[in-house]
Structure 1
Amino acid sequence: MKTSTGKQSGFRKTLQRTEEIFFRSLMLLSSGLIVAVLLMIIYSILKVGIPSLSIEMLTQTPRGGFYFGKEGGILNAIIGSLYLGLGATALALSIGLPVAIFMNTWLLRYKRLVNTIRFILDLLWGVPSIIYGAIGFTIMIMMGWKTSLAAGIIVVGFFVLPIMIRAIDEGLKASPMGLTEASFSLGATRTELGFRVLSRQCFPGIITAILLSFGRAIGDAASVLFTTGFTDHIPTSLGQPTATLPLSIFFQLTSPIPEVKNRAYAAAVVLTVIILLTSVLSRIFSNKYKKQTIKF
C-alpha cells in the first residue's frame, strides 16, 4: 500500500511539473510572438519612414502638389491630432470621473447594478470605432452639421469614454475599504469622499486613464473619417474641419507615387513616437504618484 501510494504521489508531482513547464513555455512563446510582431511592425515603419522624415515635413503644412510628391509637410495633421486628442480626452474625463466616483460611492450597496454597468462599459469598449463614427455622422446629418473639429471631439470623446470610466473605476476599486470607513466616521459626505478622498487616493489611476485615452484618441482613424473631415490648414476654431495623422497616413498610402507613400511611413513614425511617449509617461507618472497613496 505504501509503495502504491508513493508511486501515485510521485506520478502527481511529475504531472504537475510537466503541466507547469508546458504552460510556462506556452506563455513565453506567446509573449515572444507578440514582441516579435511588434518589433517587426516598428522596424518596417522605421526602415522606410526615417529616411523620408525631415524638419520641413514636421514644420510645414501641405503646399500645392504635396500629395503628388512636391514640397510641404504634415504640421496640419500633427496639430489637428493633438487638438482632437486633447479635446476628446478632456470631454471623456469630465464625464468619466464623476461616473466612476458615483459607481464607487453612491452605488456601493447596489453591486448587481454596478456589475451590469461595468459589463455594458466593457461591451462599449469593444465596439469598433467606425460604429461610433457612423452614428455620429448620422446625427450630424439630422442636425445639419458639417464636418468639424468639434464633431470629431464629441465622437472620439464618447469612443474613449468607456476606457476612461473603467480605468478610473479599477483604481477606485483598489482603494482600501478602511479609507472609506474612516471618512464616513469623520462625517464626510459621499461627495467629499469621492472627490476629496478617493480621487486623490487613485490619482495614479486617473493619470493612467487620461494618457491611455489620449493615446487611443490620437491614433483612431475610423471614427474621424466621417466627422472631422480633412484640410491642409491648421484649424483656428472648433467649427472648422481638421486633418489628423491617421487620415494623413491613409490618404498618402493610397497614392501611386512612391515618394508620397514613403511620406506616409514618415507620418506613421511621428504617430508611433507620440503613442510610445504617451505609454512611457503613463508608466512614469503612475509609479511616481503611487508612492503618495495611502496603504493599509
Structure 2
Amino acid sequence: MRTTFAPMEGITIYCYRNAHHKIFGEGIDYYYTPFLSVYKHHAIKKRDMREILKENNLEKGVKIIPQIMTNKADEIIWALRELKSLGYDEINLNMGCPVGTVVSKDKGSGMLREPDRLYEIFSEVFEDEITEQVKFTVKTRLGLSDPHEFENILPVLNKFPFDEVIIHPRVRTQMYKGTPDMEVFRWAYENSKNPVGYNGNIFTVDDYKKIVEEFPDLEEIMIGRGLVSNPALAREILTGKEINIEEIKEFMDELQVRYKDEIFSDDSIMHKMKEIWFYVGNLLEKKDGTEADTYIHKIRTSKNVSEYRNAVRTVYKECRIKNSL
C-alpha cells in the first residue's frame, strides 16, 4: 500500500513538491501533479507543461504521477502517448474535480453525469495499445449529487482493466465539505474488479490507521489537504516523528526560495506563501497554550512584504506546535 500526495490546484506545483520532498519527503511514495489540461488539437497547456518538465522535477527521489484533465478518448490516448515519451509510466485521469467551470464542460466530476458516455470513452481508450504500455488510473468521486450514483458508475469502470480506481467518497455538490460516505465506499471496495485507492479527510495518523484497518487491501492512500496542513504527516505515519517549529521555518524558507524559480515578483510570492500559511497555521498555538489565530491573521492580512516578514517573525518567536497534535 503506497502513500501519495494528492494534487491540489494552485498549491502543489513543482516548486512546492520539490521543497516538500527535500524537508518532509519521508513516507511519500509519489506526488501527483495538479491536473494537466489537454486540448482538442492535442497539446497540453503551456503553463501546465512546467509540472512535467524533467528540469523542474530533478530533486533526488521525487516520483511524479501526471494527472490529466480531458473527457475525449482521442485526447486521453494522445496524452498517454505523449507522457510516456517524456518518461512517465503511470498517468492518472481526473474524474473528480468539483469546480463549477470544470463540471460545466463535462470534465472532472462532470464526466460522472453519463455512465454510458464513460463506457464509450473507455472502450475507445482501451482499444489502443498504449494502455498496455503504461499504468492508467482514474480518480473519481461517487457522483454529482447522490453517492448511490456510483452504483451505476462502478459497473462501467469494472468493464476495463484500470491499474487503479482512486475514490474520493464524496459527491460533487459536497465539494470538500461534509462527511465522506464510507458505506458506499465499502461497497465499491468490495465490488471493484480493479485495485482501489482511497482519498479524503485524512488529517492525522489515527485517520490513516483507521482507513488501513478497515480496508487492508487498498492499493494506495492519497492525502491532500492533510499534508498541506501538516507537511510532516506522511513521515509521522511512517516513523512516528512529529513536526516541530524549526522544521516549519525551514520548510517555509525553502518554499519561498523555490517559488522564485516560477514567480518573479516578491509580492506575488508573498500571496502564495500566505495561502500556505492558511493551512499550516492550524498546527500552531501561542507558547502559553492559547490560540495563535491573531498571529496567523496578521500574516494573512499583510499588505506588503515588510508587514508579512514581521508577522512571520512574530509567529516563529511566539508560537509552538499545538500540544494536541
Q: Which has the higher strand share?
A: 2
Q: Which has the higher helix share?
A: 1
**Shorter-chain-normalised TM-score: which range?**
under 0.3
Taking structure 2 as the reference length, the TM-score comes to: 0.19
Considering Cα pairs closer than 8 Å and 6+ residues apart, tell me whether 1 or 2 has the greater RCO: 1
Taking structure 1 as the reference length, the TM-score comes to: 0.21
Structure with max Cα Rg = 1
